[in-house]
A and B are shown apart, each in its own frame.
Chain A
Amino acid sequence: MNWPDLSMGGYGFYVWGSYLFALLAIVWELVTLSYRKRAREQEKTAQQVLRGTTNETTS
């Protein structure tokens, strides 16, 4: 097993920079997706409640 040198032989900025960017891209995608999912779930619940209410009032 090779313990990597954190400076990456002088290329640390480039290596860690690219992995940091990858992490940020994945986190950005997951966070925006989570917001979107939450908003849609709320809409869906509201829709179900509305339909339930409508059914009650029409029945």
Chain B
Amino acid sequence: MNLYKYASPTNFYPLAGKMIPWFATPAGILFGVGLFVGFFIAPPDFQQGDAYRIMFIHVPAAWLGMFLYILMAIYAGIGWAFNARLASMMASSISITGAMFTFLSLVTGAFWGKPTWGTWWVWDARMTSTLILLFLYIGFISLQSSIDDPRRADRAGAVLALVGVINVPIIYFSVQWWNTLHQGATIRILQKPTIHGSMLWAMLIMLAACWLYSVAVVLIRVRCIIVEREQNASHFVEATV
């Protein structure tokens, strides 16, 4: 099977359409399972009581905000370096979902901060760098929509995406580099998690649900972008009849 043929927007369009249900359906199921485990199985926290349950949406949203930015920058970089139209379209498609998750992480963080820290917001390193991430997403989206020529818009967006990627490690390590109000990482790859197993499972299931949801939504959106950009190309219209 020649996978390279799917680098063409025309060939990718029907494939994306077939893939969407395979991500959307498990996403819906896992959202249900994750919320069930998070609210019915996981016990209240000994310090924060039930307020900690915000974690099941806050942490996946924050991780996806960062991860989708890296993915967006990779796609934008590939699109720029190899003149690959589909990669640039994927970057555009990812940006809105990434911005949504980053915004969600900031809002749910504020909802968690008020009962635990006594304030909705502080100019803490983690929170400020996450806010900068949101501004980078908004900058990318605004820049792309302000330039009429899609190829020029893709190049300009790629520069911003690649420069802004430096902010992601800053967000991740901010709790180690600076003395922040935000707590340190509870889950590390090389260390045993410090939270109860059911809490960890609920969070991981919600993370998987959010990830599958993102893939489904990005695929739906990239199909719209393909139609928007290729609608005047006769080969696309004929291929998708």
Partner of B44, one of A9, A26, A30, A48: A9
The 4 A-B residue pairs whose C-beta atoms are closest, nearest first, are A8-B50, A18-B111, A11-B51, A9-B49
Bound-complex Cα distance A20 to B65 (A): 19
Interface residues on A, range: 20 to 34
Interface residues on B, range: 35 or more
30 pairs from A and B in contact (CB 8 Å cutoff): A1-B40, A2-B40, A2-B43, A3-B40, A4-B39, A4-B53, A8-B51, A8-B53, A9-B49, A11-B50, A14-B54, A14-B112, A14-B114, A15-B53, A15-B54, A18-B107, A18-B112, A19-B57, A21-B111, A22-B61, A22-B108, A25-B100, A29-B96, A29-B217, A33-B221, A40-B224, A43-B227, A47-B237, A48-B237, A51-B237
A5 within 8 A of B: yes
Q: Evaluate contact between B115 and A11: CB separation under 8 angstroms.
A: yes
User: Which listed residue (B43, B51, B213, B223) contacts A14, Cβ 8 A?
Assistant: B51
Contacts across chains A and B counted by CB atoms under 8 Å: 95
Tell me if B228 is interfacial: C-beta within 8 Å of chain A: yes
The verdict on B146 contacting chain A, using a C-beta distance below 8 Å, is: no
Taking A22-B57, A48-B241 as known contacts, 12 extra A-B pairs with beta carbons closer than 8 A to each other, sorted by chain A number, are A4-B39, A4-B40, A8-B49, A9-B51, A10-B49, A14-B54, A14-B112, A21-B107, A37-B223, A43-B227, A44-B231, A44-B240
